[in-house]
Every structure is written in structure tokens, then in C-alpha cells.
Chain A
Amino acid sequence: MNMKKNMKVVISLSAFCLLVIGLTWVSKSSKVHSESQPQAETRTKSGVQRINDKAKAVKGADRAAIRGLTDEIMSQYGWDAAPSAITDSLKNRLVTAEENFHNGNHKGISELEVTRAVNGFVAKFNTPDYSRTSPSEVREVRGRLLTLLPDFVGRGRVENGKGQAKRQGAPLAEMSPVEAAYMTMAVAYQKMYNPDFQLTQAERRASWIDKHRTSPRSLNKPDSELTTSQKERQQEMDGVLRRVATTTSIQDLFGLPDKVLDVLGIERQKKEDK
């Protein structure tokens, strides 16, 4: 029965792709040519500015403003290409959790939970050891993104546009559900594409000690070339991503985002909430 079902899926997938190939073939000439695309929607603000603006608009448990922020962060990590049947349910789950967070009915999410969510991919897809992360690495990414997204990162619970008072020595506030989802995507992105973050725990410690040992006096550091090992890891990760994309079942892929939110401690919505 299951076999039959799988066959149906494979046949329909192949048919769909062949249809796409056919259409593509017909619509293109085989000659050498150039391509010019009409300018996409004019965007005067950068992606970072748009996130900051939408985060600023969230002054409490305001569902519409939270939805705007959620749409923006998911859009920047490629979710616009996903079927709305999937993204809508995810966004609703996040928006409800964020509303509850600002109302004081949802706990903040820790860096440990984001770490577990990212390392869940490592376990699931058997990716290399250097794709694991740790709470301090998640904190490091938050610290760096604070410089870009000061209205969003570490803002914590907001009431009437005001966050909690800051005390000296206080770490960044625990994450709201939307910030946690953003950080999970941001850290996973570093692990997939950023050679500086493709390091095992031992290498991260060694790098940290090295960077903090000396007393450099200038903020300007020349760009450095990638080492051979960094290039090899980037190639390996490219291969891993291709393997994951081509061997993971559809059912698995579409069930994944909800499971990630489970690990982050974001409740699933009851049917009547949807």
C-alpha cells in the first residue's frame, strides 16, 4: 500500500517536472542571448531597515504588527517560495506565540533552545560535526546582529512600546518566539554558508582564545582569503545541502518546520485557534 503511494508520488513529481521542462524548453530559444528582467518591486529600504521598522511597529501584543514582522523575517529566509498552505499555519503559530509572549503568557526562549533546534538538523541529516552550534555561539550571533537590528534583537517583552529596564551586566533578554525563529534561521545560515562558523567546538575554542589573546588597536582588519580547509568545508556543505534536498521525503520536509518550533517550545495551535 505504502509502496503504491510512494510510486504515485514519484510519478506525479516526475510528471510535474517534465511538464516544467517542456514549458521551459518551448519558451526559450537556444540562441545565445541576454536577459533583462523588469525591476522587481521597488524597495527603497534595505532588508535590515525593513526588519527594524517592523519590529519598531510592534509595541505590544498587536497581532497585525507582529504578523508584519513575521512575514518580513520569513520572506528574507526564502519562505515566500513555499506554498501558503504551509507558511500560513507556521506564521499563525508564531504570531499567536508572540502575542502571548508580549501579554506575559509565553515564556522567553533561551539560546540553549535555539542551539537544540539547530543541532537537531545535524542529528536528522547527519551533517558534519562543524555544523553543530552551542549556546555561546548563538549568543555571539545575537551580539553581532544587535549591531544591525537594535530594534529587534534582545528586545524582550514589550508593553506600550517600552521594553524592560536594562540593568548593568544583564545579558540580552530571552528571545521572543519570532526572534528565536529568526535566530534559528540565522545560525543555520551561518553553518551552511559562512566559513568562519563552520568550526567544531574545539576549533571554536581555539579561535576564540586566539582572537582574545592579543591587543589589536584598530577596528580595521584586512579581508583574509579562505584557507584550503575552509574551501573544502564549503564544498562539503554544498554537497550536504544537495544530498538533503534530494533524499529527504516530502512528508519529512514539510513536517520539519513544525518540529523545529516544537523544540523551541512554541506551542502548536489548537484547531479552534487557527
Chain B
Amino acid sequence: MKGITKLVLVAALGFFASGCWIIDLIFGPHGFTVKTTFSTPSSPTQRGVINPDPNVQVIGNFQGFNGLGDPCGNIQSFNVTTGSDGKNHNSDWAAPAVWNFTRNGGHAGCGLKFFFGRAVSCGQTATLDCASALAFAAAPDSIDVNAPPATATFTGEGLDTTYGMPTIEFYDEYGTFFNQTTASVVSADGTWLQAAVPSLAGLYSGIYTVVIVNATADGSRNAVGTSSIWVYGNDLPPPPPDPDPDPGPCVGGVCQVY
């Protein structure tokens, strides 16, 4: 009895671990997966980072088999919601084929997005990405380090002055804290603030991240949103990162091999 329980457990674990690859091995991959993601906004000096976008509604409409193999599914339209990891798989969705997809919801600002004429093969994943915007827009969004404006305005929502003026923190593209300032004016509806631009002396050109933090009763941190500002006019960059080889899993001759 104990042996049977063990075997069932192993089989269940194996099913999870392999995604039941034996099915694919015997019959070939079936259907396909849709994956919803969002990526950080593009910027001139930074790469976009892709993140899972969970619980997004996805509508799929089959346009026709594309003749790139034997059909491996029958369902020709669907309306599903991706899971907590941003994925949804069905081994009966028609492929290899061309599909139109619509995604609705997910990360703030993504809303309704359309993806036309996507070719999907059997067992493949159709990634439906949304390039997101940050919660606050900065004006100006680019500043000459040698002639900075006296003030900057950030527009978004959720600003709260109940316990004091919000704080605006500035970080470089690697998250190094550079400076902070306090808002001088906040609109009554909490949708914009104005703050003095701190001294930018010594800053290199690049993208700077702005984190806006509401004051709280107990002094705890309550970030309300972020924004970006492009600083230019001092192009001498620091040396490129990491001249040494990428480190492996060994430390001081001891290797933690998985």
C-alpha cells in the first residue's frame, strides 16, 4: 500500500514537473499556450524588462491553418483569463495556424490590445506583451544638466497631503539614490504636484527614476508612483560594467552545483 502511495506521488510530481511530456513525446505537441506579459517602458539607455502579467482576459480568433504541419487542435475561438503566472494552455486550440488575439486588462494602462495575424505552431507559446507606461508623467521629461529648470511637475493620481507634502526621490538607472526633495504644491484632487529640481551637479547623462512617496501618519513608506526623467549634457560615461568574467556558482573553491 505504501509502495502504491509512493508511486502515485511520484507520478503526480512527475506530471507537474514534466508537463506530462510523455504525451508530447508520444503524440507530438498539441494546442498552444498564451502568455500575457508587460514590459517596462523603453528608454534610450535601458533595456526593457519583461514581467508576467497575471489574470488578463484573452480572446482568440482562428484565422486559418497555415499549412506548416498537421493540425494539432480543433478549438477555433476562445475567451479565457490567464492564470496567476500570466499563462493559459489548451491542448485543443487549433495549430499550426494564424490567430488574432485581443488582451484586456492586466498591468495599469495596458487596457485593450490587439494582436493580428500571429502564427502559432503546435506546442508553442503566443506571448501577448504590453509595453507599459509609468504612473506619473514628468514635465519636462528631459533636463539639461547644465541648465536645469527651477521646478518640475509630475502628473498622475493618488497624491495625498493629509500627513504632509509628498517626497520625490531620485535614482540613477541602477537604482543608486541621488537626491530627494519635497513637493511645493499639490493639486486638491491629488493628480499633480510641483517640486523644485534639486542640484544636478556632477550627474551623468542618462535616465533617472523618480519615486513619489506620500507622507503617512506613522512615518512608514507609501510610494504612490514612479516616473522617469532623461538628463543630458554630461556625456562622459563611467566605465562599462563588469570587466571580469561572469561569476559561476563556485565561491572560494567550494561549488554549489545544482
Which residues of A approach B to under 8 Å, CB–CB? 8-9, 12-17, 20-21, 24, 28, 30-37, 39-41, 43, 46-49, 52, 56, 59, 75-83, 86, 112, 115-117, 119-124, 132-137, 139-148, 150-151, 153-155, 160-163, 166-172, 186, 189-190, 193-194, 196-197, 201, 204-205, 207-209, 211-221, 223, 238, 245-246, 248, 250, 252-256, 259-260, 262-263
Contacts and interface: CB of A to CB of B under 8 A. Distances in A.
B74 interface: yes
B54 A43 contact: yes
B78 interface: yes
24 contacts: A13-B14, A15-B11, A35-B92, A36-B80, A43-B54, A46-B108, A47-B53, A83-B12, A83-B13, A147-B134, A147-B209, A150-B223, A150-B225, A160-B218, A168-B179, A172-B175, A211-B44, A214-B44, A245-B19, A250-B14, A250-B17, A250-B18, A256-B258, A259-B258
A260 B258 contact: yes
Given A36-B79, A160-B220, A76 B16 contact: no
Nearest to B211: A150
Contacts of B39: 194
A20 B20 contact: yes
9 nearest A-B residue pairs (beta carbon): A161-B220, A136-B241, A150-B223, A16-B11, A216-B44, A78-B85, A120-B249, A172-B175, A34-B77
Interface residues of B, number: 110
A208 B240 contact: yes
A268 to B, nearest CB: 13
B27 to A, nearest CB: 8
B157 interface: no
A8 B10 CA distance: 9
B45 to A, nearest CB: 5
A137 B46 CA distance: 11
A144 B248 contact: no
Interface string B86-126: 11001111100000000000111000000000000000100
Interface in B122-171: 124, 127, 131-132, 134, 141-142, 169, 171
A46 B54 CA distance: 7
Contacts of A56: 221-222
B22 A169 contact: no
B11 A40 contact: no
B1 interface: no
Contacts of B223: 52, 150-151
Contacts of B127: 193
Q: Which of B55, B83, B124, B248 has its CB near the most chain A CB atoms (within 10 A)?
A: B55
Contacts of A140: 46-47, 173-174
A253 B21 CA distance: 14
Contacts of B79: 35-37
A234 B12 CA distance: 30
B18 A13 contact: yes
Interface string B218-258: 11111101101010110101001110011111010000111
A76 B54 contact: yes
B137 to A, nearest CB: 10
B15 A20 contact: yes
Contacts of B175: 139, 142-143, 146, 153-154, 171-172
Contact of A123 (B23, B206, B248): B248
Contacts of A76: 51-52, 54, 84-86
A168 B178 contact: yes
A13 to B, nearest CB: 4
